[in-house]
Amino acid sequence: MEISDWDQRYRAEAQQAERVESSPSPLVVQAAGWLPAGRALDLACGSGRNAIWLAEHGWTVTAVDGAEGAIEIVRRRAAAKGLNITTRVADLEAGEFAIPEGAWDLIVIAYYLQRGLFEKARAGVRPGGLLLAIVHTAAPGEEPTAHRLRPGELRGFFPGWEVLHAYEGQPQDPEHRRGVAEILARKPSRGRQPVAGEDGPAAL
């Protein structure tokens, strides 16, 4: 779909409270348990379910999407909840949003695939920070496309990173039905030594 199509879709869905007020992706909730609340960037944020949840739990959040209708929903929801979320309307494929290097504790890319974005997102994570990605995958017998990865492809975008969670199969998110690949990876920290008993949340 083109950005204009997504914009129309979000404007129509703004009237559907059950959609707009949907819960965050389960993996985002789990990922937040690996770090104290810090700076989070939600790329292709849609109607903001992940950005809103993170802001409610103490994160300083920037939410970016190419569809103005989506960002309008995020702004209204944030205002209604008294949350301060930085929002940007930007076409990610056109490079309209520059990701500052080493600026984010957590970057979320949920249900959006732009292969060239992974390198920029990796650079944007601070050492020791996390990058979370959830993308749709091609079904058996299908060829990968610009919007669907082949099985096993996602992990290849994170060479040298510590993979805390990797999954492929049916989504564990009621908002989606098509098969997905998920990854939660930590950027290496120079000189960082493992802490005894540091196992992360039991859920992962």
Spatial contact of 125 and 102, defined as CB atoms under 8 Å apart: yes
Residue ranges covered by each domain of the chain: 3-10+23-186
Residue-wise pLDDT tens digits, 9-31: 544 555 554 454 578 999 999 99
Q: What is the mean pLDDT of the chain?
A: 85
What is the identity of the amino acid at 33?
G
Q: What distances in angstroms separate CA 29 from CA 51, 85, 102, 196, one per listed residue? A: 11, 18, 22, 24
Q: Which fold has domain 3-10+23-186?
A: Rossmann fold (3.40.50)
Residue 107, Cβ density class (10 Å: 0-12 exposed, 13-18 middle, ≥19 buried): buried
pLDDT higher than 90, residue 193: no
- pLDDT digit string (tens) for 66-85? 999 999 999 999 999 999 99
Average pLDDT over residues 181-197: 71
pLDDT digits (tens, 9 = 90+) for 25-58: 999 999 999 999 999 999 999 999 999 999 999 9
In this predicted structure, what is the pLDDT of residue 8? 53
pLDDT for the residue numbered 21: 58
- Calculated CA dihedral for residues 187, 119, 100, 55, nearest 10 degrees: -60
The pLDDT value given to residue 201: 45
